[in-house]
Amino acid sequence: MKIAQIAGFLGAGKTTFLIELAKELVNRGNRIAIVVNDVGDINVDAKFIESYGLKAKEISGGCICCQIAGSFASTVATLYNTFKPDIIIVEPSGVAIPWGLKRAAEYSEEEMPAKIEHAPVVTLVDSVRIEELLHSVRRLVETQIREADVVLINKVDASTPEKIKLSEEFVRQVNPRARIMYGSGKQGQGVKEIATAIEKEISPRYDEAMEEEILRKEYVERDKA
Ligand SMILES: Nc1nc2c(ncn2[C@@H]2O[C@H](COP(=O)(O)OP(=O)(O)O)[C@@H](O)[C@H]2O)c(=O)[nH]1
Ligand SMILES: [Mg+2]
């Protein structure tokens, strides 16, 4: 069973994009479940869920990549044991760390007879608010970008060429190996491409040594510089 996380800071457009993505994947014949780590933002509309035959769960009370990783793992296992989705699309909270979420998802293997595969980690970057993000939550956004396989520079419908370029340069600098895409959840741009990546590609499993290496690069080498 595949886990597809759509990461990004609060307001990046995760919920909006996730709904379009879920529709696209359902239309392609996938059985889809959604898990939203709710921190008080827009809820996924119940009518939409019903009409698309989706299963949705909201988890609150903390971040599913750390504080409540155990209840996230149980939710994933329960979804598998009762609904057997092909793909669970996860909207983590805006402060979640992708590697932490991978690890938490893998805990579910203790409670179900299936293995977790990870779809490429997708991080959304809000190109409308890029300057603000670079000032106020730069470290967090850098971590979400560094651990992404695909970065979607989002809200291009409402942004400017300068802001899009600034977003792109920032992403390149933080994570040169990430695939960069441009999109708009509101206009459905980028949805098909991300859906194909989620269906066809696999991202590595959680690896403690690799996470340590990433952290070492992030903190030790930066402090040296
Ligand atoms: N212009 C524009 N606005 C968007 C887009 N996606 C989301 N938004 C708006 O951005 C705000 C936050 O979106 P939401 O999906 O709730 O973001 P989340 O906090 O990351 O889940 C809402 O007001 C959305 O209407 C987009 O592609 N273009
Ligand atoms: Mg949301």
Whole-angstrom distance, CA of residue 194 vs CA of residue 183: 10
Whole-angstrom distance, CA of residue 152 vs CA of residue 181: 5
Q: What is the extent of the structural domain holding 91?
A: 2-202
Long-range contacts of 142-145 (CB under 8 A, 24+ apart): 142/174, 142/218, 143/97, 143/218, 144/7, 144/8, 144/9, 144/96, 144/97, 144/98, 145/170, 145/171, 145/174, 145/175, 145/178
In the DSSP assignment, the letter for residue 112 is S
Ligand nearest to the CA of 124: 1
Q: Is residue 185 part of a domain?
A: yes
Q: Is residue 224 part of a domain?
A: no
Among 59, 181, 47, which residue's Cα sits nearest to residue 108? 59
Q: Is residue 93 part of a domain?
A: yes
Pocket test for ligand 1, best of 5, 14, 16 (most atoms within 8 A of CB): 16
Of 95-99, 142-146, 168-172, 177-181, least confident by mean pLDDT is 95-99
Structure confidence by residue, pLDDT tens digits, 167-209: 999 999 999 999 999 999 999 999 999 999 999 999 999 987 7
Question: Residue 100: which CATH number?
Answer: 3.40.50.300
Q: Is residue 222 part of a domain?
A: no
pLDDT computed for residue 11 by the predictor: 93
Q: How confident is the model at residue 43 (pLDDT cuts 50, 70, 90)?
A: low
Closest approach atom of ligand 1 to CA 154: 27
Q: What is the pTM of this model?
A: 0.93
Task: Tell me how far the alpha carbon of residue 190 lies from the centroid of ligand 1, in angstroms.
Answer: 14
Q: How many domains does the chain have?
A: 1
Whole-angstrom distance, CA of residue 204 vs CA of residue 214: 14
Structure confidence by residue, pLDDT tens digits, 100-121: 999 999 999 999 999 999 999 9
Whole-angstrom distance, CA of residue 161 vs CA of residue 183: 13
Structure tokens belonging to residue 121? 């980690």
Q: Which helix (H) or strand (E) holds 68?
A: none
Residues with CB under 6 A from ligand 1: 8, 10-16, 41-42, 154-155, 157-158, 184-186
pLDDT computed for residue 46 by the predictor: 66
